Amino acid sequence: MTEDFAAAAEKDLPPLANAVNRRKQNKKFNKMYLFCWVGASIPLLGFLLFSGFPLVISFMAMFSDMERNNIDTMQWNDFANFIRFGTDERVWIALRNTVILACSQFVSLFIAIAIAAFLSQNVKGSRLFQTLFFIPYICSTVAVAVMWNNIFGIKGALNAILNTNIEWLNNMENPYSLTMAIFVAVVWKAPGYGIVMYCSAFKAINPALYEAASLDGANAWHKFRNITLPGIAPITFFLILSGFLAGLTIFDEATIMAPLSFDGYAGPEDAGLTMMYYIYVEGVQFSNMGYASVMSWFLFLITAIPSVYFIRKRMAEVEEM
Amino acid sequence: MKEQILSVSSGNGTAENRKPIRRSVPVASIVTYIVLFIYTVVLFAPFVIILFESFTGDVEIGSRPSFYLFPHEWTTEGYEVIFMLDPNAVNGVPSLLIGFFNTMWQTLIPLVGGLLTSAFSAYIFSKFRFPGKKVLFMATVLTMMLPMGAFGFVSYLFYMKLGWVGDAGVLPIIIPGLFGGAGTVFFLRSYFDSALSNEVLEAAKIDGAGSFRIFFGMVLPLAKPALIAQFLFGFVGGYNSYSTALLYLYPNKNMWTLQLALAELVSMVSQDGSGYANAQCASALLAMLPLILLYVFVQKYFIEGINIGGGKE
């Protein structure tokens, strides 16, 4: 598919001129290659500068003590950060909360499939519903967290609706009501993107397949399992994996809905502490970037596992290029 | 089109005694509308709740035994707190306004610059042949796949070494974006492959147009739908981003973005988490409103953008 301008230009020259200009052409080619290399590699250069260097520095920081996060004062610290990491209970609390919140992805996905399935049934105003359902997706996480803070408040709307008097966000007896509140805020915001994707995926499935299946005596469940599901599988994989990556790095909602208490806890029993939140607390608030780096690399390795799927798939696409 | 994809009530019966073209079953469509209606209510009730709360007085909120929707006494107290009594105001300008202005330029500069860079790179990857192209492209795609989100906070070490913190804290927000993104390159390249015909480009080349002229005069205009999609989702991302601003801009109130200003305002006015709930609700609404308005006008491009794959990387 790819066409080469330089080669095309060469083809258009008369043969004689071509031979005479061969040396000139070579020079021009080299200039062209340089132009291509520079122009094409700027994004890669940006990555190497602004992600590569931080990667290297944070790798070194894992093994060091620093004064006030100044990397010039790095000193070997005999794996102290790793030893602390292995014995720090808060890491496991943060990891558990993060995984719980990342699993909200499945709920969002289920909602997206269900709503898109309903929208695909010759509904009048299907497009309008899609448009409306997308609005939460573009709302800022901070504002959404503030909104749900209010609704989950002791005098908030939820208690009025349920006719209860529960401190959802600060409940000593059941700290996990805070985690669940964050979970709700995340799920409320997320499905819009999936709804739009599934709607177009459903539309793209050839209606003749359903006709044929009906003639063969397939019922609705069979049609769903054998025609609809394979049709939406690629999108589902994409949404689950990208949702997991986003879920594992949740920070905004947690820090707004579970602000640090005066004694340094993110909600009762740290129920609102996520990995990114803990990295922020350690690295930025306590100026302990060495330890924060250990946690960052740990989180990176976890998020890299689902990414491997993407990498292999994309690389296969590039190979075909 | 007549065929239903998930037929709610057609699970029974065999196909033999059915005609291929069926009328939609009323019960099924009623169920459908009920479900869609309930979901709409669930999605928009929170907005309505905080809208009414924002017009309720602080004393009324504090003294009522439990929540009710319609305020007994309508008041704009919450909005006055934001605009007149803002504890984070700089020279009397409320922090939300400063934040909105800062968000605009801090989002648009790296976004537009980065889109140009990415589009240029994608154009070269799509339409030129040069040695090492495949390796370069593979490396670019690989960087796009690495989940760098985990390093958001520890990158601070690097920018601190560069001196890009404190008063220069806006640089880590602007400069890296100008280099473009691998995800955008990948998306635009496949768009160029399919939407830009080589014949047209060759014709322009033979007419003597230079590579830059072709890029700005032909490639960019032809890539408009793809660029609009990337721009809109980039804009939403930049407008809503919070943690980077918190990390680098916190010491400098002049540079605060909207989300940072919102978060700080809410934590200032609430003190123990309950005071001035009306101001909290009002500021959350005001922070969401500009983007929702933008969305209402250009929603078509958002939906199209997702469908051509421009939303997520």
Closest residue in A to B293 (Cα) is A135
Report the gap between the CA of A98 and the closest CA in chain B (Å): 12
Give the pLDDT confidence score for residue A3 in this predicted structure: 44
Report B:181-240 residues touching A (Cβ under 8 A): 181-182, 184-186, 193, 198, 201-202, 205-206, 211, 236, 239-240
Q: pLDDT at position A80, please?
A: 93
- Top-confidence residue, A221 or B313: A221
The string of pLDDT tens digits covering residues A261-317 is 888 899 999 999 999 999 999 999 999 999 999 999 999 999 888 777 777 777 777
Chain A residue nearest residue B4, CA to CA: A121
Choose from B153, B189, B312, B313 for mutation: most chain A CBs within 10 A. Answer: B153
- Count CB neighbours of B209 within 10 A: 15
Digit-coded pLDDT (tens) for A115-157: 998 998 878 888 899 999 999 999 999 999 999 999 999 888 9
Cβ atoms of B128 and B205 closer than 8 Å: no
All residues of chain B having their beta carbon less than 8 Å from the beta carbon of residue A1 are: 193
**Residues whose CB falls within 8 Å of the CB of residue B25, separated by 6 or more in sequence, listed in order:** B7, B8, B9, B10
- Please report the pLDDT score of residue B119 as a whole number: 95
Q: What is the pLDDT of residue A28?
A: 64
Q: Would the CB atoms of B5 and A120 count as touching at under 8 Å?
A: yes
Does residue B61 belong to the interface with chain A, where contact is any CB pair within 8 Å?
yes
pTM: 0.88
DSSP string, A60-123: HHTTEEEETTEEEEEEE-TTHHHHHHHH-HHHHHHHHHHHHHHTHHHHHHHHHHHHHHHHTTT-
The residue with greater pLDDT, A50 or A70, is A50
Phi, psi of A75 (to 5 degrees): -135, 135
Ordered by where they begin, the domains of chain B are 95-307 (1.10.3720.10)
- pLDDT tens digits for A75-102? 898 999 999 999 999 999 999 999 999 9
| Confidence (pLDDT) at B311 | 54
Q: Residue ranges of chain B with pLDDT lower than 50?
A: 1-20, 313
pLDDT tens, residue by residue, A152-208 = 998 889 999 999 988 899 888 999 999 999 999 999 999 999 999 999 888 888 888
Query: How high is the ipTM of this complex?
Result: 0.87
Which one of A34, A38, A146, A312 makes the best mutation probe of the B interface by having the most chain B beta carbons within 10 Å? A146
Task: Scan residues 96-155 of A and list those with Cβ closer than 8 Å to B.
Answer: 111, 114-115, 117-123, 127, 129-136, 138-144, 146-151, 153-155
Instruction: Tell me the shortest Cα–Cα distance from B91 to chain A, in angstroms.
Output: 25
What residue segments make up the domains of chain A, in order of their start?
Answer: 5-49, 84-319
Average pLDDT of chain A is 87
Which residue's entry shows tokens 């609009």?
A: B228
Q: What is the pLDDT of residues A13-46, one digit of tens each?
A: 444 445 555 555 666 668 888 889 999 999 999 9
Mutation for testing the B interface, residue in A13, A98, A155, A310 having most B CBs under 10 Å: A155
- H or E stretch including B110? helix B95-127
In tens, the pLDDT along B6-51 reads 444 444 444 444 444 555 557 778 889 999 999 999 999 999 999 9
Tokens standing for residue A175: 């700290």
Q: Which of B150, B280, B61, B43 is nearest to A136 (CA)?
A: B43
Q: CATH 1.10.3720.10: does it fit domain A84-319?
A: yes
